[in-house]
A and B are shown apart, each in its own frame.
Chain A
Amino acid sequence: MAKDPTHQFQIQTIGEPILVGPLDLTFTNSSLFMVLASAAIILLLMVSTSRRALVPGRMQSMAEISYEFVADMIRSTAGSDGLRFFPFVFTLFGFILMANMLGMFPYFFTTTAQIVVTSALALLVFFIVIGYGVFKNGFGFLRVFVPSGVPIYILPFVVLIEVISFISRPVSHSVRLFANMLAGHILLKVFAGFVASMAGIGLVGVLGASLPLFMTVALTALEFLVAFLQAYVFAILTCIYLNDALHPGH
């Protein structure tokens, strides 16, 4: 049971079931770590900016760097008018990064390895892009499907491809994050499981176990990189999609 690599993604209820009509809103380990991620971000930012120092300390520097990091990310992909989405992108980036990092602790639950969570976030971005794009550009938003400078005789074909790629965005957006976190954690679990099972078969096994142990250590470092990178990728793709809503003409 403990060696089942998918066991770590199992939802476990915490406390009494909460049933609202037909909905089961029971608090689970997944809920706990989503709440923890939000609480950790709020706490970190609250503590680090509480002194409002002109010359920032270590904590405040970190908060300021992440602020500038996200702001630069938006400016470079969606332009300065993309900064109206700054709180949204910052929240998204912070939430996913914190959830990924919390997932790196042993026995902690990785909420971003739940397809329903990543899908919800990707669909949120998708509908914000459509909603804001139509609100700001009206029918002009349809230009997002019509790349400029394409010869007229292949235009219908290109538009078809653009529509398909636009609709498939939330799928790739959500599955990328979900699959990366899922695969990384399964891989870690499998290699760590090798260590335990090999060490269990005697002296040769103990020596042999050093190989998967080394792999586990290396993969842990890689997973930290992936945890950051996938949060970054999710956020920057959000910026690129928002750019379509802000400037629909290619």
Chain B
Amino acid sequence: MAAPETHGATEAHGVFPPFDPQYFGSQLFWLVVSFGLLYLVLSRFLLPRLGQILEERRDKIADDLDEAGRLNEEAKAAATAYENALADARAKAHTIAADAKAKIDAEIAEETGKVEAEMDAKHEEAESRIREAKAEALAHVQEIAGSATSAIVEKLIGKAPTDAEAQKAVKAASRG
């Protein structure tokens, strides 16, 4: 401690320094000044500022959490919309495929029907031609048989029968 001789007077009291009342008044006064000033500056200025900083941080964190929650909801909604769109598209694709199949089936059936009808018609025509040819051939057979009969009869009896007679005989023979 510097210059102890300057306060020899206070030590002369011979009391334990903290209990020496000589400077109690001075200490109380300066305590009131320093403590009071500290209280004023802290309560009016510094502590509200510190509290505001903490408040702002809390608000910011709360806001950010809210924002994150909102974005999360949005993302979920977008995912749902995407799922729905996908399901719609899938359903549409199914109907398009089914439609196309039905149309093609119908076309195939129509074509097949047409071809079959044509074939039937040709078949019919061919058959009728065969029938005609057969009938014609049969008709010619009688005629030939008649002329052959008259020729044979002429050879046998030297006299040719009339066509009518020959035909009559052929008919009778072919029937018999």
Contacts and interface: CB of A to CB of B under 8 A. Distances in A.
B30 A87 contact: no
A38 B38 contact: yes
Interface in A26-78: 26-28, 30-31, 34-35, 37-38, 41-42, 45-46, 49, 52-54, 56, 60, 63-64, 67-68
A130 B127 CA distance: 134
Contact of B54 (A13, A18, A64): A64
B47 A107 contact: no
Nearest to A41: B38
A88 interface: yes
Contacts of B35: 34, 38, 91, 95, 121
Given A54-B60, A87-B39, A42 B46 contact: yes
Given A1-B4, A87-B39, A27 B30 contact: yes
Contacts of A27: 26, 30
Contacts of B53: 49, 52-53, 56, 60, 64
B56 A28 contact: no
Contact of B43 (A10, A24, A68, A91): A91
Contact of B37 (A38, A46, A64, A178): A38
A: contact size bracket: 35 or more
B49 A116 contact: no
A86 B10 CA distance: 39
Contacts of A107: 1
Contacts of A37: 34, 38
Interface in B132-165: none
A120 B25 CA distance: 11
A227 interface: no
Contact of A2 (B1, B26, B27, B46): B1
A45 B46 contact: yes
Contacts of A7: 1, 4, 17
B27 A117 contact: yes
B24 interface: yes
Interface string B38-51: 11011100110111
B176 interface: no
Contact of A28 (B26, B34, B38): B26
A28 to B, nearest CB: 6
B6 interface: yes
Contact of B38 (A42, A46, A53, A67): A42
Given A2-B1, A30-B30, A54-B56, A95 B50 contact: no
Contacts of A132: none
B38 to A, nearest CB: 4
Contact of A87 (B7, B10, B33, B47): B47
B42 A91 contact: yes
Nearest to B43: A87
9 contacts: A1-B4, A11-B26, A28-B30, A35-B30, A42-B41, A46-B46, A68-B54, A87-B39, A95-B34
Given A64-B54, A120-B32, 4 more contacts: A7-B17, A45-B42, A64-B53, A120-B28
